[in-house]
């Protein structure tokens, strides 16, 4: 058992990191916002924590906390104007942020190392740490979704107008969730940076954001476990299909397509954890309960 864990330690660690990022996306989808800011927020956490480690000598925990807080602050500054946008415009706004961050990281040689990135990062992230962080996040999200704030989030997801008519400040709720999501993404980036010993600007572009969205959507939006299930499948399958890079890309795309067509509510819908769909009458009980 120990030998098996050692053989697949990197894959397991990557599953944990990707699960954390999937939870960050799940939080935003829980308030009906499709965010592509994940790549930039992950990069913020990674670069800030790495620079703190390399240049200030901060302890590992303090560097990770600093990266997490930096990503949360950026999410607050970004979310204040961008969350006023609706639908595709919001997605484009968050995508623009991710691409701007990547371009800045690519060209700011004196700080980010430019295209060469930053290397020689001390490897301090361990499997028990990742497992503990993931478990704590799951508990926190379950507690959040199971309480009054969770009912408010559900009312916000189902329909803005009924929620606002009952006195729910939809804009504030979404901003708070966006900041929380940013902190989660920054935390994942900080842990990943100290796991791989290298980070580069191309690690934090659009592909990173799309992958994180795929984790949450493939697993299912009805439960936080969906993000973990999706991240596990998308992380393990490429390792299984390493015999051919071309076959791997084709099969991964085919699996995602089949999942969207035949399991539109995610893999966990098979187990009854699918997210409720629709607006109208389905929104009334949730909004009424959230206003109590």
**For residue range 154-180, what is the model confidence (pLDDT) as tens digits?**
888 887 788 888 788 889 999 999 999
> Using CA atoms in the order 40, 46, 49, 53, what is the torsion angle rounded to 10 degrees?
-150
Average pLDDT over residues 262-267: 70
The string of DSSP codes covering 91-106 is: HHHHHHHHHHHHHHHH
Average pLDDT over residues 226-246: 81
Average pLDDT over residues 55-63: 92
Task: Please give the pLDDT value at position 264.
Answer: 67
Asked if pLDDT for residue 280 goes beyond 60, the answer is no
Task: Please give the pLDDT value at position 196.
Answer: 85
Average pLDDT over residues 17-21: 96
Asked if pLDDT for residue 41 goes beyond 50, the answer is yes
Q: Domain map of the chain by residue range? A: 2-209
State the DSSP code for 114: G
Asked if pLDDT for residue 138 goes beyond 90, the answer is yes
Asked if pLDDT for residue 272 goes beyond 60, the answer is no
Asked if pLDDT for residue 292 goes beyond 50, the answer is no
Longest C-alpha distance within the chain, in Å?
Answer: 58
Q: What angle do CA 226, 229, 234 make, to 5 degrees?
A: 120
What proportion of the chain, given as a percentage, has pLDDT over 90? 57
Q: Which of 37, 17, 27 is nearest to 181 (CA)?
A: 27
Task: Please give the pLDDT value at position 252.
Answer: 72
What are the backbone dihedrals phi and psi of residue 199, each rounded to the nearest 5 degrees, phi first? -135, 145
SS3 state at 118: strand
Residue found under tokens 């901060």: 58
Task: Please give the pLDDT value at position 279.
Answer: 42
pTM of this structure: 0.87
DSSP-H helix ranges across 83-158: 87-107, 109-112, 127-146, 148-158
Task: Please give the pLDDT value at position 3.
Answer: 58
Task: Please give the pLDDT value at position 278.
Answer: 45
Average pLDDT over residues 259-284: 57
Name the more confident of 161 and 271. 161
Taking a C-beta distance cutoff of 8 angstroms, is the pair 30, 24 a contact? Answer: no
Q: How far is CA 209 from CA 13, 66, 102, 159, 195, in A?
A: 19, 22, 12, 25, 20
Q: Tokens for 129?
A: 């740490």
Cβ-count burial 158-183 (b if 16+ within 10 Å, e if not): bbbebbeebebebeebbbbbbbbbbb
Task: Please give the pLDDT value at position 4.
Answer: 55
Q: Tokens for 25?
A: 């996306």
């Amino acid at each position: 058992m120990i030998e098996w864990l050692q053989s697949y330690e990197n894959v397991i660690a990557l599953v944990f990191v990707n699960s954390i990022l999937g939870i960050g996306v799940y939080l935003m989808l829980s308030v009906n916002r499709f965010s592509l800011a994940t790549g930039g927020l992950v990069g913020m956490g990674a670069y800030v924590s790495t620079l703190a480690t390399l240049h200030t000598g901060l302890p590992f925990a303090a560097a990770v906390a600093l990266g997490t807080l930096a990503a949360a602050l950026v999410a607050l500054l970004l979310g204040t104007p961008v969350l006023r946008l609706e639908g595709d415009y919001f997605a484009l706004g968050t995508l623009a942020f991710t691409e701007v961050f990547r371009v800045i990281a690519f060209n700011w040689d004196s700080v980010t190392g430019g295209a060469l990135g930053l290397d020689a990062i001390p490897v301090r992230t361990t499997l028990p740490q990742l497992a503990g962080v993931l478990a704590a996040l799951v508990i926190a999200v379950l507690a959040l979704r199971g309480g009054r704030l969770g009912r408010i989030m559900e009312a916000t997801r189902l329909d803005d107008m009924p929620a606002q008519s009952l006195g729910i400040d939809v804009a504030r709720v979404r901003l708070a969730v966006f900041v929380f999501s940013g902190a989660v993404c920054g935390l994942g980036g900080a842990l990943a940076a100290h796991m791989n010993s290298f980070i580069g600007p191309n690690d934090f572009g659009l592909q990173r954001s799309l992958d994180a969205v795929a984790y949450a959507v493939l697993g299912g939006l009805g439960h936080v476990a969906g993000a973990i299930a999706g991240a596990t499948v998308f992380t393990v399958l490429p390792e299984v299909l390493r015999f051919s890079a071309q076959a791997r890309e084709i099969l991964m795309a085919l699996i995602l397509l089949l999942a969207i067509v035949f399991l539109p509510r995610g893999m966990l819908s098979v187990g009854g954890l699918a997210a409720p769909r629709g607006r109208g009458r389905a929104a009334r009980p949730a909004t009424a309960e959230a206003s109590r």
